[in-house]
Amino acid sequence: MLYQTIKQIGELDRKAMEEAQKRLDSLIKPPGSLGVLEEIAVRLAGITGKAKPRVQGKSVIVMAGDHGVVDEGVSVAPREVTVQMMQAMVNGVAGIGVLARHAAARLVVVDVGVLTPVALQGVVQRKVRAGTGNIAAGPAMSRDEAVQALEVGIEVAQSEIDAGSNLLATGDMGIGNTTPSSAILAAFGGYTAEEATGRGTMVNDEVMKLKISAIARALAKNRPDPEDALDVLAKVGGLEIAGLAGVILGAAARRTPVLIDGFITTAAALVAFKLQPKSRQYMIASHLSGEQGHRLMLDLLDLRPVIHLQMRLGEGTGAALTMSLVEAATKIMREMASFDEAGVSDLEEDKILK
């Protein structure tokens, strides 16, 4: 199913993009004056194949998993916070609970690999295994488990699309997950552990040293092959990161735009990109996280973040906030009038900067 999905991902629809650009240039405004909103509108046309797409339904998909590497003391939070935060999410009181509601988006919280066996009401149960192995000492998971977690993401994304959502946002929950995300960045980008590591939940200098050491050992011990995305994911990744890469591939295969959030979801985006380079075109980078290394990831993907709010929470919060901007871009296309339609005098072509 994974390979079939990867094969389904096609190129953007250039004709629809040209049509959208032409329409944008005819609207009552100086050329290009809506900036990044115009870029989003053109890309949405390419993704959907429609010059004037309409956002019909929005879903934020949060993938949750636990991490064996927390044993190395890499986070400020104890590991039980993962499941406690999932409860807060379904109760609507976590950051993403508030911002998904603000965006009028459905919030889907998926257990793809948390440690605790308890079933939380309102959480989608798709556990592949109860937490990863400690990457500083061995692989996070088997290749087969990585594929299973990717397929969970594909299925959840596509069931949201089948239920009427045509704009998806990615979110993560998993104490310790900035550590595997940094390891993924180091593996794909050829960075050292120091260059790829940030402070996550704001760890102090002492913990930062432990974190860098754990990442350096994870790379030395596992020797992930950057030419083999599944190898990197299985050896130094995480179950929620795999699930999120699946969400992105599942969206791309169904020609649906997918918003990338912060450091962890962008690590997943790197995996999706390495599995299928064409998937990149379906991603919208929502924001630039305060986490060191996020820009390096976005550079590897050649994606430009829409908003800069110095957020570094994860959970899909930046992606959820950007949903309304994507929706605004579609409204510009559908509701703004052209010079002709509004009876506004044409611009003087010979005076426009070319």
Ligand X SMILES: Cc1cc2ncn([C@H]3O[C@H](COP(=O)(O)O)[C@@H](O)[C@H]3O)c2cc1C
Ligand Y SMILES: O=C(O)c1cccnc1
Q: How far is CA 189 from CA 103, 130, 186, 249, in A?
A: 34, 29, 5, 21
The HSE-up count of residue 349 (CA atoms within 13 Å, CB side) is 2
C-alpha to C-alpha distance for 231 and 250, rounded to whole angstroms: 20
Q: In the complex, what is the shortest distance from the CB of residue 78 to ligand Y, in angstroms, rounded to a whole number?
A: 15
Q: Which two tokens stand for residue 304?
A: 């430009």
Q: Mark the segment that binds ligand Y (CB under 6 A) among 22-30, 76-84, 232-240, 261-269.
A: 261-269
Q: Does 210 bind ligand X (CB under 6 A)?
A: no
Are 190 and 234 in contact by the 8 Å Cβ rule? The answer is no
Q: Does 5 bind ligand Y (CB under 6 A)?
A: no
Cβ distance to ligand X smaller for residue 210 or 313: 313
Task: Walk across the sheet containing 58-65 and list its strands.
Answer: 123-125, 106-113, 58-65, 167-173, 258-260, 283-285
Q: Does 201 bind ligand Y (CB under 6 A)?
A: yes
Phi and psi dihedrals of 46, rounded to 5? -65, -40
Q: Does 180 bind ligand Y (CB under 6 A)?
A: no
Q: Mark the segment that binds ligand Y (CB under 6 A) among 45-53, 70-78, 186-194, 308-316.
A: 308-316
Q: In the complex, what is the shortest distance from the CB of residue 214 to ligand X, in angstroms, rounded to a whole number?
A: 11
Q: What is the DSSP pairing of strand 58-65 with strand 167-173? A: parallel
80: left (phi over 0), alpha (psi -120 to 50) or beta: alpha
Q: Which two tokens stand for residue 24?
A: 């944008």
Identify the three-state secondary structure at position 256: coil
Residue 263 interacts with, from ligand Y, ligand X, none (CB under 5-8 Å by kind) = ligand Y
Q: Which of 21, 26, 116, 201 binds ligand X (CB under 6 A)?
A: 201
Q: Does 234 bind ligand X (CB under 6 A)?
A: no
Residue 176 interacts with, from ligand Y, ligand X, none (CB under 5-8 Å by kind) = ligand X
Q: Which two tokens stand for residue 209?
A: 């040293």
Identify the three-state secondary structure at position 53: coil
Q: Does 177 bind ligand X (CB under 6 A)?
A: yes
Token pair 């390891």 in the structure block, residue = 183
Q: Does 85 bind ligand X (CB under 6 A)?
A: yes
Residues 52-81, interacting with ligand X (CB under 6 A): 75, 77, 81
Q: Does 200 bind ligand Y (CB under 6 A)?
A: yes
Q: Does 13 bind ligand X (CB under 6 A)?
A: no
Q: Does 173 bind ligand X (CB under 6 A)?
A: yes
Q: Does 174 bind ligand Y (CB under 6 A)?
A: no
Q: Does 240 bind ligand X (CB under 6 A)?
A: no
Residue 134 interacts with, from ligand X, ligand Y, none (CB under 5-8 Å by kind) = none
Q: Does 273 bind ligand Y (CB under 6 A)?
A: no
Q: Which residue is nearest to ligand X (CB)?
A: 200
Identify the three-state secondary structure at position 110: strand
Active-site choice (145, 151, 155, 315): 315
CB atoms inside a 10 Å sphere around CB 340: 10
Alpha helices in 164-309 (DSSP H): 178-189, 193-196, 205-222, 229-236, 239-253, 263-275, 294-301
Are 261 and 288 in contact by the 8 Å Cβ rule? The answer is no
Cβ distance to ligand Y smaller for residue 237 or 314: 314
Residues 278-307, interacting with ligand Y (CB under 6 A): 289, 291, 294
What residue type is 107 in one-letter code? L
* Residue 19 annotated among the catalytic residues of the structure: no
Q: Which of 43, 127, 280, 312 binds ligand Y (CB under 6 A)?
A: 312
What residue ranges bind ligand Y (CB under 6 A)?
A: 178, 200-201, 261-264, 289, 291, 294, 312-314
Residues forming the site for ligand X (CB under 6 A): 75, 77, 81, 85, 172-179, 200-201, 313-315
List, by residue number, the catalytic residues: 315
